[in-house]
Amino acid sequence: MSVLLEVIATTVADVRLAAQAGANRLELVTATGEGGLTPSLGLIEAAVAAVEIPVNVIVRPHSRSFVYDADDYAVMLRDVRAVKAAGANGVVIGMLDAEGGIDREGLARAIDAADGLAVTFHRAFDEARDLRESLDVLLGFDAVTNVLTSGGRPSALHAKATIRELVRQASGSHLTVLAGAGLTVEAITGFVSSTQVEAVHFGSGVRVDDNGLAPVDADKVARVRALLDAQA
């Protein structure tokens, strides 16, 4: 089976281009310059209507930190419910406690609000104090189907050994290690073979001029898809 390809989309045009070029799934975000924040309801509804492939939506109220207060949670839980009502496939969330562990209570509340949607824990994971321990916590939540990680480094390409360990730790579970951040068309074949990941996440690596603020480059998405299929 070939590796799943998830692509970041910030517009409906991105959504269409990525889907037509062979992406298996989309992560819909706004404000990529801030690491991705919750998109508008209009964009979510239009994106879901535009394509047949699953659309996962980031729910992140601000970029200050991944430690959230009661007001932040009030906003996030409303947004999670709105994402569900808009017909999206899943939510992409992440929350830490003040000590750098997974905020279990906050995660449980978000899962409850998601009411059956797929849940991806995003790169807040990479800022946790201990990645192996944090993955164990996430493995305890049946609703969490993916963890997006660069292995704790700015680029996943510099954390192959760590990612390989995380893949081994999650093997046979309900949770897939989704490797992302810094991946490129040129490096993807070697990266997949050395880490054994079953899912990869592309942002700037499949955009025009490798610019995170530029549109999706359909040719790059198609090249990644072809390379992944050739490895299957």
Which regions in the chain score pLDDT beneath 50?
none
Can you give the pLDDT at residue 55? 98
How many residues does this entry show for the chain?
Answer: 232
Contacts of 60 (CB under 8 A, 6+ apart): 35, 36, 37, 38, 76, 92, 93, 94, 122
Residue range 4-231 forms a domain whose CATH class is alpha beta
Can you give the pLDDT at residue 232? 79
Can you give the pLDDT at residue 91? 98
* φ and ψ at residue 9, rounded to 5 degrees: -125, 140
Which amino acid is present at 195?
Answer: T
Measured CA to CA, the distance from residue 170 to residue 33 in angstroms comes to 30
Can you give the pLDDT at residue 60? 98
Contacts of 55 (CB under 8 A, 6+ apart): 9, 15, 25, 26, 28, 44, 47, 48, 88, 89
User: Which residue in 121, 59, 123, 120 sits closest to 86, CA to CA?
Assistant: 59
The model carries a pTM of 0.97
Can you give the pLDDT at residue 104? 98
pLDDT digits (tens, 9 = 90+) for 130-159: 999 999 999 999 999 999 999 999 999 999
Contacts of 186 (CB under 8 A, 6+ apart): none
C-beta neighbour count of 35 within 10 angstroms = 16
Can you give the pLDDT at residue 159? 98
Helices 12-21/41-50 angle, 10° precision:
30
Can you give the pLDDT at residue 96? 98
Domain boundaries, the chain: 4-231
Looking up tokens 């963890």 gives 147
Contacts of 33 (CB under 8 A, 6+ apart): 212, 213
Measured CA to CA, the distance from residue 167 to residue 165 in angstroms comes to 5
Pairing of strands 118-121, 176-180: unpaired
